Amino acid sequence: MKTGTRAVSQGAAVVVFVAALAVFPLVFTNATVTTFGIDALIFVTVVSAWNFFSGYSGYLSLGHAVFYGTGGYFLVIAARDWNFAGSGVFWLLPLAGLVAAIIAVPVGLVALRVRRHTFVVMTIAFFFIAQLAATNLGVTGGSSGLLPPIPNWAPGTFNNPFYYAALVMGVLAVAASWLIRRSRFGLQLRAIRDDEDRAAGLGVRTMPVKLTALVLSAFFTGMAGGLWVYFIGDAVPQFVFDPLFDLAVVLMAFFGGLGTIAGPVLGALILEPAQQWFALEEANSYGSEILFGLLFLVIILFLPRGVLPTGEEYLTAGRAWLTRRRSGTQSVPAPANVSTQAEGSSR
């Protein structure tokens, strides 16, 4: 069958892509480049996880930094108290995810009662609660923060363990996104996005479905936060709970394609290194953030549903236009007309 061969070729492409990512730090050994790689893969994890909650369900969270920071602080505190060091710290990552997932339960039970703008505002409120708590509580070291253990790895390949941990996490998060997209659970999430009340009226248990998605999403986000804090070697409230983190995640998802599987990967792999590079180039560190803000505007205006879906539309419209030109009838291509068609297709 045609869909069968397509699945095989897609699978092959994924394997080649992951293999390329796996050899990347062996080819590009420069520490700056591998640092970009680690950051990008951490964002692949977070944006994929954010997307299989927010992108699928339509509940846009601007508070995922809560889970990211929780995972980060947990990792530092657990490594210190339980005497983990070196690559042993990586074993704490699933636990960091678990703690973030547990935090997500009360957050979800409160915030998921409301919808749309109100939900967004709620998630922002939770974010500030978390940041204020981290700044003021003793357990997080207050505003001066905490230091994770520093691994004594060889300087030449110091980044590699972080890189591979990030790669494993990224692959797992994308796999989770893919599995959810194909499952009945994912279908219910997307039904909730389209018409939550109708879905409930058809027997879908909307609250458990939404909450499960949020908790799973928080799990991956918490793991990513743990790894990030271990990598940068510092946990201070304003960076561990960073509002720009939330904006970056949303921007990457919108850029690549909200609700798609490949979109978040694309968004993270392009925008995170781009932002890092701008930050390096610009003497004034705010330059990159201003550029990011402008990019956000451009994307929302011209690619509201992301590079992948909108790109596909333009392709479809372009082909239709070419066909019409060949057959002699002139008319202007209208991407808006096909917009609804490309939207739900899975990638």
Partner 1 sequence: MTATLRVEGISKAFGGVHALTECTLTARSGEITGLIGPNGSGKTTLFNIATGYERPDSGRVFLGDREITGASPQRVFGYGVGRTFQLTRIFPRLTVLENMLVPAQHGAGKNGAAGNGGRGRAHRHLRERALELLAFTGIAGHAEALAGTLSYGQRKLLELSYVLIAEPQVVLLDEPAGGVNPSLVNHLAERISELNKQGRTFLVVEHNMEFVMSLCHQVTVLDYGTVIATGSPAQVRDDQRVLDAYLGSGTGDG
**Looking at beta carbons only, is 188 or 221 nearer to partner 1?**
188
The count of C-alpha atoms lying within 13 angstroms of the C-alpha of 7, restricted to the half-sphere facing its C-beta, is: 5
Q: Which residues bind partner 1 (CB under 8 A)?
A: 179, 182-185, 187-188, 190-191, 193-195, 197-206, 208-209, 212, 340-341, 343-344
Alpha-carbon gap, residue 295 to 231, rounded angstroms: 27
To the nearest whole angstrom, how small is the minimum distance from the Cβ of residue 45 to partner 1? 22
To the nearest whole angstrom, how small is the minimum distance from the Cβ of residue 31 to partner 1? 42
Torsions phi, psi for 152 (to 5 deg) = -100, 45
To the nearest whole angstrom, how small is the minimum distance from the Cβ of residue 345 to partner 1? 8
Alpha-carbon gap, residue 57 to 82, rounded angstroms: 38
What single string gives the DSSP state of each residue in 156-190?
GGTTHHHHHHHHHHHHHHHHHHHHHHHSHHHHHHH
Torsion region of 75: left, alpha or beta (phi above 0 gives left; psi -120 to 50 gives alpha): alpha
To the nearest whole angstrom, how small is the minimum distance from the Cβ of residue 201 to partner 1? 4
**Looking at beta carbons only, is 31 or 338 nearer to partner 1?**
338
To the nearest whole angstrom, how small is the minimum distance from the Cβ of residue 36 to partner 1? 35
**Looking at beta carbons only, is 77 or 211 nearer to partner 1?**
211
Structure tokens at 181: 């997209």
The answer to whether 38 and 161 are in contact (CB under 8 A) is no
**Looking at beta carbons only, is 246 or 312 nearer to partner 1?**
312
**Looking at beta carbons only, is 104 or 134 nearer to partner 1?**
104
